């Protein structure tokens, strides 16, 4: 008799607890670090810092994106069967942003009008000196054609899991008013795990160590 009574109590307790457990599993709270991060669910912005996901019987998972300025954006799937009721999403600081500046001159030619008193030989010498202040060597330096460029220099950013490469080109403009040069800082980014030169795309930022290069060229030979 005692065994039967115990079995009945066990069955009743399971029947009572099951709805509670099932209901609890349908609501999962997403908490971000930093707490100001924006949360997107299936592409829709839903709030900052904290959001409660509500799973219906038709939902197996939600696509979550969390982003914040200065941090690496994180995307993940949160499944209904996840046993956690509170899911913490921690963002890593984006060290590539910390090591660079936004620039409207990235990947564009900038024209330097050479000031009076600086002839072609002196201008070429000064431009070469400036480039060698930022790069260990030049890849091409052909004064007769008025063209020089540097090798690509690659810098990795482990936290952002990206690599950035930088190269500078200088070319003399012919047929213009006076002596002129065009300068371009090529700045490109690629995922860390990309092979060789594959995956590099133009990046609208310049690494901080190259930030003052064009200003230095302008001050050395420019007319203003």
Q: pLDDT tens, 173-192?
A: 987 778 999 999 999 999 98
Task: Say how far residue 105 (Cα) sits from the centre of its chain.
Answer: 18
Q: What is the mean pLDDT of the chain?
A: 89
Whether the CB-CB separation of 85 and 54 falls below 8 Å is answered with no
Residue 43 has a CB neighbour count (10 Å cut-off) of: 7
Question: The tokens of 213 are what?
Answer: 């290069």
Burial class of residue 213 in the structure, from the number of CB atoms within 10 Å of its CB (0-12 exposed, 13-18 middle, 19+ buried):
buried
Whether the CB-CB separation of 204 and 102 falls below 8 Å is answered with yes
For residue 147, which of 160, 135, 159, 131 has the smallest C-alpha distance?
Answer: 131
Q: pLDDT tens, 39-77?
A: 999 999 999 999 999 999 899 999 999 999 989 999 999
Confidence of residue 18 (pLDDT cuts 50, 70, 90): very low
Q: For residue 4, is pLDDT > 80? A: no
As a whole number of angstroms, the distance between CA 80 and CA 123 comes to 67
Bridge-based pairing of strands 205-207 and 201-202 is unpaired
Q: Which domains does the chain have, with CATH numbers?
A: 27-93 (2.60.40.1120), 98-221 (3.30.530.50)
The residues facing 89 across adjacent strands are 32
Whether the CB-CB separation of 210 and 110 falls below 8 Å is answered with no
Whether the CB-CB separation of 178 and 113 falls below 8 Å is answered with yes
For residue 171, which of 186, 181, 180, 185 has the smallest C-alpha distance?
Answer: 181
Cis before 200 (ω within 30): no
């Amino acid at each position: 008799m005692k065994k039967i009574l115990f079995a009945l109590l066990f069955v009743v307790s399971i029947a009572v607890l099951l709805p509670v457990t099932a209901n609890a599993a349908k609501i999962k709270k997403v908490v971000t670090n930093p707490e100001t991060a924006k949360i997107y669910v299936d592409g829709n912005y839903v709030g900052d810092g904290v959001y409660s996901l509500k799973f219906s019987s038709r939902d197996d998972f939600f696509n979550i994106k969390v982003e914040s300025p200065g941090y690496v954006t994180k995307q993940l799937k949160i499944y209904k069967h996840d046993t956690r009721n509170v899911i913490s999403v921690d963002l890593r600081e984006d060290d590539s942003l910390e090591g660079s500046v936004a620039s409207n001159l990235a990947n564009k030619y900038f024209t330097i009008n050479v000031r009076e008193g600086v002839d072609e030989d002196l201008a070429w010498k000064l431009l070469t000196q400036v480039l060698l202040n930022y790069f260990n060597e030049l890849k091409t330096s052909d004064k007769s054609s008025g063209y020089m460029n540097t090798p690509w220099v690659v810098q990795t950013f482990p936290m952002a899991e990206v690599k950035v490469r930088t190269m500078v080109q200088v070319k003399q403009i012919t047929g213009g008013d006076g002596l002129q040069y065009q300068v371009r800082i090529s700045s490109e980014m690629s995922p860390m795990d990309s092979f060789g030169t594959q995956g590099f795309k133009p990046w609208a930022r310049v690494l901080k160590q190259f930030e003052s290069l064009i200003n230095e060229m302008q001050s050395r030979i420019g007319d203003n």
